[in-house]
Amino acid sequence: MKVDQTPPPMDINRGLQLHLPLNEIVENVAKEKEVVDVSAGKLKGKVNGKPTVADDSQLGSCLNFDGVDDYIQMPEMNVDYSQGLTIGAWVQYNSFKSWSRIIDFGNGQGNDNIVFANEGTTKNLDLDVYKGATQNRIKADGTLELNQWLYITVTVDGSGSSKIYKNGEEVQTGLVHLPNNVNRTKNYIGKSNWSADQLFHGKMSNLRVYNARVTGQQINCFMVKCQICGCITERYHQKKLTNV
């Protein structure tokens, strides 16, 4: 009897804590504007400013941030990262604002933050993890580009071993400490917990956060799935807005 050697399909949802397609803005019953999380947690992100949904030839609908007052505020999140961490997103920078964030999850400035950002106004991609006020960092110099879609990912395993990927290719390795297991109440996309830092200026699509390390193969799966068919989302009985 012939044994089927086909490997089982990858479970790309294992450990998934947040998945924001960022392909639409909806209104809730209170007429507040939100983006919807399609992970099992089904969190709602509050839209601040007036980001617009752009129609992109490569990725389809994505969220456009003006770098002035546009950002997303997520609710509090109490996630156990003791087994690792992964952050991944499609980003297209229009400019490198000072320390502009992809995400900044924490309890204020220098308080158990998880930061994924560009360093200063440079092309360097930076992950900062704070245990309380104590910071560790891994940085990939010259990784970012202007006006180009990039799929950027950082992974951390249970020992703190970290890797940064650009378009599925590993570009940096390092060691960081794992985040404390605490409830984080100030969680932003496109905005910093530091008042002196600037806001993200560009487009974003398909932001994912895991409490585990994902593999390079899974990262490539995310990239291909998004490019071929866009983001698969559930239908919500809410009003869809394309320009707000």
Q: To the nearest whole number, what is the mean pLDDT of the chain?
A: 90
What is the tens place of the pLDDT at every residue in 165-205? 999 999 999 999 999 999 999 999 999 999 999 999 999 99
> Would you give the DSSP letter of residue 182?
-
**Cβ atoms within 10 Å of 208's Cβ, excluding its own:** 22
Are 230 and 23 spatial neighbours (Cβ–Cβ below 8 Å)?
A: yes
- Domains contained in the chain, CATH given: 70-228 (2.60.120.200)
Distances (CA, A) of 45 to 34, 39, 50: 5, 13, 14
What is the tens place of the pLDDT at every residue in 131-177? 999 999 999 999 999 999 999 999 999 999 999 999 999 999 999 99
> Would you give the DSSP letter of residue 15?
T
**Cβ atoms within 10 Å of 137's Cβ, excluding its own:** 14
Whole-prediction pTM: 0.89
> pLDDT at residue 2 above 70?
no
Residue 76 corresponds to which tokens in the numbers above? 């509090």
